[in-house]
Amino acid sequence: MTGVTAAASESGRSDGAVTDVDVVVVGAGFAGIYSLYHLRDLGFTVQVIETGDGVGGTWYWNRYPGARCDVPSLEYSYGFSNELQQEWEWTEIMPAREEIEEYLNHVVDRFDLRRDIKFGTRVTAATFDEATARWLVETDAGDRFSAPFCVMATGCLSAPTMPEVEGRDSFEGRVLQTSLWPREGVDFTGLRVGLIGTGSSGVQATPEIAREAEHLYVFQRTATYSFPAYRGMMDPELQKSFKANPGDFRRRQRRAFAGIAGFGGALGPAQPPERKILETPWEEQLEVLDELGFWAARAWGDVFVDLEANEAGAELFREMIRRTIDDPEVAEALSPRGYPIGCKRLVFGVDYYEAFNRDNVTLVDLRKGAIESITPTGIRTAQGDYEVDVVIFATGFDAMTGALNRIDIRGRDGQLLRDVWAGGARTLLGLQSFGFPNLFIITGPGSPSVLSNMVVGIEQHVEWIGDCLAYLRDHGLRSIEPTLAAQDDWVEHVNQVSEGTMYTAPTCNSWYLGANIPGKPRVFLPYVGGLPAYIERADAVASAGYEGFTLA
């Protein structure tokens, strides 16, 4: 490896001097933490830089009440260390935010990783120098790091967005955002709260805030399909059987389409492929509804492959809302219409719909009159004013590209990544982009990432990158970059497999497509072909000496 001239543990210098390391890693969530562990283990010096004051990424920032994972804890955890798997005890099947944050802090301390993480520091720029084939990484604290390799572990859902609502700064109460929640928590007792957004974050927060606040107004622009989340304490026998053979379980995860082996606890009933909703009379559909509740909408082989069948499933879902909600007008307002089930990221909630039967919860259906402005005392809509003490934005993220585009990343010829991606992100395998040698992205656009159990995708990416850096070192090479042709082929393949799915239905507007961000090009960002097919392709590329990449 070239030019290691200073220990990474000095953690940067603000006197303008440049600190040399082998790899700069940006971000200290699941991806950054494992990158540090793995690359250090391979003998590279690594510096991690993290905006937050602690590790955890998603699980550090999203401290809103009710924040919880919807993948079972045994599945949503690292597989790289048997010792770690043997000693860590999960308490719940679907872990709460707090437990995941605790777990990641344990990992960092157990493997002595904290000394190579610089906290409270945002990377502002990364510039590639062609002559030396090194990246210069600069931060808002004035640090300058030079490294041949840069790993962007910046997260797919880490760039929060807040809509530009007129008068927002005039509000005299408190403005909060689910993804930037105060560390000390918030006591809503006696307060009137306005919550904007009914995606996963809004759905999880609604019942929790409703239990505490004097009154909760939920401002809904698009009604969601929220499925009941599974909740329960970990069965000690289940955990024991996992620990008896974690290796086998982890191998099964990588062979599973979404990185979930189906072992760690209930996720919801499976879809029996032979049962077709379009061939089933309404009365018989209702029997399935009696048995499965909201899950009945998905429990058919044709619902995710046929728009007409999907609409039949949606009607069954709406029937369940009518059964759940006391007030028919509220039930109708909560009923999702006009887009298919499965077009957006699945939303899971506990007591979400039931919260709207409470006297202290009001649904404000923005389809009847949009938000016009924030006033000093509340939220003004075309259907009236709502006086509140707190406004909460649960309005999501500039997903998959946002965190990268917020950094001035300059590759060959000084080109900016966000300019190159202005018409849509382009990568080879989601790992690298043409024109940006030695810059790796973990779970980047064009990889299964957000369509799978993300921890599995992250581990696979980190190991692929580790193998690649070791290969370059062993072969006396100093740079790697995709060829334009291989990248174009991959982008075409990513688009092709997304065609005909619910994700790209004409009526679908999701953050997967960038549709939640004004002006963002409508491009389907993740790879929908499944983790096994992806891993097979990535492994084949590596085995063939990094076919489709230029090595120098």
Establish if 198 lies at the interface with ligand NAP (CB under 6 A): yes
Q: What is the Cα–Cα distance from 424 to 61, expressed in whole angstroms?
A: 27
Establish if 50 lies at the interface with ligand FAD (CB under 6 A): yes
Q: What is the Cα–Cα distance from 381 to 290, expressed in whole angstroms?
A: 38
Considering the complex, what minimum distance in angstroms separates the CB of residue 399 from ligand FAD?
9
Considering the complex, what minimum distance in angstroms separates the CB of residue 503 from ligand FAD?
17
Which partner, ligand FAD, ligand NAP, none, binds residue 371 by CB below 5 to 8 Å per kind? ligand NAP
Please report which helix (H) or strand (E) contains residue 543, including its range.
helix 531-543
Which amino acid type is present at position 160? P
Q: What is the Cα–Cα distance from 278 to 282, expressed in whole angstroms?
A: 9
Q: How far is CA 76 from CA 33, 37, 94, 159, 296, in A?
A: 15, 18, 9, 22, 26
Buried/exposed code over 206-219 (b: 16+ C-beta within 10 A; e: otherwise): bbbbbbbbebbbbb
Q: Which of residues 227 and 464 has its CB atom nearest to ligand NAP in the complex?
A: 227
Considering the complex, what minimum distance in angstroms separates the CB of residue 422 from ligand NAP?
22
Q: Which of residues 30 and 353 has its CB atom nearest to ligand FAD in the complex?
A: 30
Establish if 197 lies at the interface with ligand NAP (CB under 6 A): yes
Report the site for ligand FAD in 82-121 (rule: CB under 6 A): none
Question: Residue from 6, 23, 24, 31 that binds ligand FAD (CB under 6 A)?
Answer: 31
Cβ pair 139, 121 in contact under 8 A: yes
Q: What is the Cα–Cα distance from 410 to 125, expressed in whole angstroms?
A: 8
Establish if 453 lies at the interface with ligand NAP (CB under 6 A): no
Radius of gyration of the chain (CA): 24
Q: How far is CA 507 from CA 308, 516, 523, in A?
A: 13, 14, 14
Establish if 163 lies at the interface with ligand NAP (CB under 6 A): yes
Token pair 């809904």 is at which residue?
220
Among 403, 412, 402, smallest CA distance to 482 is for 412
Buried/exposed code over 236-274 (b: 16+ C-beta within 10 A; e: otherwise): eebbeebbeebeebbeebbebebbbbebbbebbeeeeee
Cβ pair 392, 194 in contact under 8 A: yes
Question: Residue from 81, 127, 222, 377 that binds ligand NAP (CB under 6 A)?
Answer: 222
Q: What is the Cα–Cα distance from 26 to 403, expressed in whole angstroms?
A: 10
* Three-class SS state of 245: coil
Establish if 71 lies at the interface with ligand FAD (CB under 6 A): yes
Considering the complex, what minimum distance in angstroms separates the CB of residue 344 from ligand FAD?
14
Establish if 76 lies at the interface with ligand NAP (CB under 6 A): no
Cβ pair 32, 159 in contact under 8 A: no
Q: Which of residues 26 and 330 has its CB atom nearest to ligand FAD in the complex?
A: 26
Q: Which part of the chain contacts ligand NAP (CB under 6 A), choosing from 37-45, 190-198, 304-312, 530-538? A: 190-198
Report the site for ligand NAP in 343-382 (rule: CB under 6 A): 345, 348, 366, 371
Token pair 């497509």 is at which residue?
513
Which amino acid type is present at position 357? N
Q: Which of residues 54 and 548 has its CB atom nearest to ligand FAD in the complex?
A: 54
String of contacts with ligand FAD for each residue 136-175, x by CB under 6 A: -----------------xxxxxx-----------------
Tokens of 525: 């960002």
Establish if 196 lies at the interface with ligand NAP (CB under 6 A): yes
Question: Residue from 47, 77, 85, 201 that binds ligand FAD (CB under 6 A)?
Answer: 201
Q: Which part of the chain contacts ligand NAP (CB under 6 A), choosing from 20-28, 122-130, 217-225, 256-264? A: 217-225
User: Exposed, middle or buried by CB within 10 Å (0-12, 13-18, 19+), for 189?
Assistant: exposed
Which residue is closest to ligand FAD by CB? 57
Establish if 69 lies at the interface with ligand FAD (CB under 6 A): yes
Establish if 26 lies at the interface with ligand FAD (CB under 6 A): yes
* Three-class SS state of 42: coil
Question: Residue from 11, 21, 22, 30 that binds ligand FAD (CB under 6 A)?
Answer: 30
Establish if 209 lies at the interface with ligand FAD (CB under 6 A): no
Question: Residue from 198, 395, 453, 487 that binds ligand FAD (CB under 6 A)?
Answer: 453
* Three-class SS state of 202: helix
Q: Which of residues 222 and 550 has its CB atom nearest to ligand NAP in the complex?
A: 222
Establish if 36 lies at the interface with ligand FAD (CB under 6 A): no
Binding region for ligand FAD (CB under 6 A): 26-32, 49-52, 57-58, 60, 62, 67, 69-71, 76, 122-123, 153-158, 201, 403, 407, 442-443, 453-454, 458
Binding region for ligand NAP (CB under 6 A): 69-70, 157, 163, 178, 196-202, 204, 219, 221-222, 345, 348, 366, 371, 394-397, 450, 511, 516
